[in-house]
Structure 1
Amino acid sequence: MLRVLAVDDEKPLLEELLYLLRSDPRVLSAEGASDATEALRRISRALESGPDGADVIDVVFLDIHMAGLTGLDIARLLAGFARPPLIVFVTAHEGFAVQAFDLKAVDYVLKPVRPERLAEAVRRACAQSGRPEERPAAVAPGAGSVPAVAAVPVARPAAAEIPRGPVAPAAPVPAVAPSAAASSAAARGADRAPEQIAVELGGVTRFVAIADIAYVEAQGDYARLHTDEGSHLVRIPLSTLEERWAARGFVRIHRRHLVALARIDELRLDAGTTTVRVGAAELQVSRRHTRELRDLLMRQAMG
């Protein structure tokens, strides 16, 4: 089984990569590093401890574009050691594949990372490391794994999982011609935008009600949806959500933030800086959006 270090300077993407790696039964442990300096410190400690030491690292899952040293720079440094860890590059850019394989990379995985593609990279790393894959029939939660997400019946489909196994056929239902009222309601529903957005993590798809989202944060080509219960990462640019959700009362307040107007608790002006409070979060409003936001909040307050 593999002991893994994942390196990415985008924290949400690092967390998602670690989640997927820890879910794989062939991974004994998976730790994260958010920059090149931290990664090199951990790798140096692992190399000093020897192949049987407590800090050993079998394979590094490495982003390429990072502040300071790039993933390619780190790989070049590691190539000078007698027994360096294996390297799997995980990147959003296709153009570095030749350089990566010149550096003896085990695999080159493109973002957004698909669970089945990452599983193949783990398989290749196991094969090259000489460590057994050790695929048990059932894996108990513990080191190197996370508990499987259980489907729990709830009152609304927002927390329901999409079934992954075979589904028993439904009992036949007599065909009934729809009433005029039902047809009209269906037509109106087809014109409305979806009430939920699908989010995926580790192969499990959940549905989050758009009404539960307080604000959205841009993270590269991704967006993080913030609700009262937590946050969810989706592979949709903020600009796309801005366009889709304008009719739902979401307004752009900054190049990084989209906010549900009804969830703004406070607007504050301080020394030329404008901020809004959304629950426990305080978000900055850019100058170009300040006047429009104030007008919208005034109109909302006046009904």
Structure 2
Amino acid sequence: MINVLVADDELPAVEELAFLLRRDPRIGTILRATNGPEALELLAANPVDAAFLDIHMPGLSGLELAEIIGRSANAPVVVFVTADDDRALEAFELAAVDYLLKPLRNERLTRTVDRVVELVAHPAQAAEVEMITVDQGGISRIIRLDEVRFVQAQGDYARLHTAEASYLVRIPLAELEKQWADSGFIRIHRSYLVCMAFVTGLKLSAAKPTVSVGSAALPVSRRHVTVLRERLEATRVRPQK
């Protein structure tokens, strides 16, 4: 069980996030604050494992609050919650574990809690989050590499698919295959790379092999079936000898 703080200058937003967090059995005590100074007072009296901070709070913003929290010993991990994504780079420079966009989605929040629980349980294993810049509608955005589920070739471009959206980047699929091999991405088709962490199903013996990533069924070329089988066998649970 982890204890958390929720800080947002809008009380309905505080209550909504607290309600969603309360539904997760891994969440223990939930402290609530409606401004930065109140959050600091609560943290001084009640150490928590994670702080969910709204960025745009008057007086003391979530970014400023995170910077103050980060100076203390045994600081909680920080998750930013905001209605816009133009401060993502600043957020991750402050070592935030995640950056949630409003309106909140339960599936997305669950993945954030997964990360928080993992970091609390194994703080020594914390690794720097790799960020990538993408363009969408003429706006440059920062997203986490570990949010990319699969990549689809589109000529000299590649489309990155996350749970929430897709982003077109000007780089060939073959180049991304080389760059992201160590991040769990493998080639399954001339037009697709897939992150094995998001694979939910495999049909490799069918006439048309496919890989399931969420609700998407991606084609698998015959020449890539062997590699996928090897990856599948490597993750199979076996009795100890």
* TM-score between the two structures when normalised by the length of structure 1: 0.39
Q: Which has the higher contact order (CA 8 A, sep 6+)?
A: 1
| Structure whose alpha-carbon radius of gyration is higher | 1
